[in-house]
Amino acid sequence: MNMAVASPKSIKRHLIRPGEHAVTDEPMVLTTLLGSCVSVCLFDPVARLMGMNHFLLPMRNPASREPVLATDAGRYGLWAMELLVNELLKRGARREQLRAKAFGGANVLHEIEDTQPDHFNIGASNVAFVRQFLDRDGIPLIAQDLGGLHGRQIHFYGGDFSVFLRRIPRTGVKRVLSDEQRYQQSAIAAKQRGVPADFF
């Protein structure tokens, strides 16, 4: 999954933050940092289209009484995947030509879960969801690095649709998780104030 590029400085890069997705036909690099979150790199090699998302949870709790915010669409896997697939199809990709690579879903709270077996494992839930979604939609998962205890930094290159992955040391995972949680809280606060999340 290593990515070879001749002139890294000349390649356009775009950071995907929690709750976001991007689709492009440019030979650029989409990048993100993952803790318990999952990112799916989806592409159509024939139409030369690629996209990436970054979601925090498999789906919204249907029993939740909290209002549905605009940012929910990207924060929850079910909507994040639908948004990514639909945007690719709208841009000219064909469903039968889509291929996926998936990353993330680290069990960053494993110390707690070792002492509390019934504790909800967000990473494992995200991993199970993305595998089920892709299988249900008939999209081949051709590469993956999911689960485990380490965070990940991934770079998805549109030139040949390869992915470069770097594992984040255990000490850095907690920082990534903190960033994910802080972004989620900031997005909610921003929506309530009417401020676009892009400003964070």
Residue 33 class from Cβ within 10 Å (0-12 exposed, 13-18 middle, 19+ buried)?
buried
Which two three-digit tokens encode residue 43?
């592409």
Which two three-digit tokens encode residue 200?
């964070």
Reply yes or no on whether 37 is catalytic. Answer: yes
What sign does the dihedral 73-180-37-104 (CA atoms) show? positive
Residue 194 gets the label, from left (phi > 0), alpha (psi -120 to 50) or beta, of: left
Maximal C-alpha separation, the chain: 51
Residue 6 class from Cβ within 10 Å (0-12 exposed, 13-18 middle, 19+ buried)?
exposed
In the sheet with 21-24, reading across from the earlier edge strand, the strands are: 21-24, 49-53, 38-44, 99-104, 141-146
Q: How far is CA 65 from CA 24, 59, 61, 184, 194, in A?
A: 36, 14, 9, 17, 20
Q: Which of 3, 30, 37, 49 is catalytic?
A: 37
Q: Which residues are catalytic?
A: 37
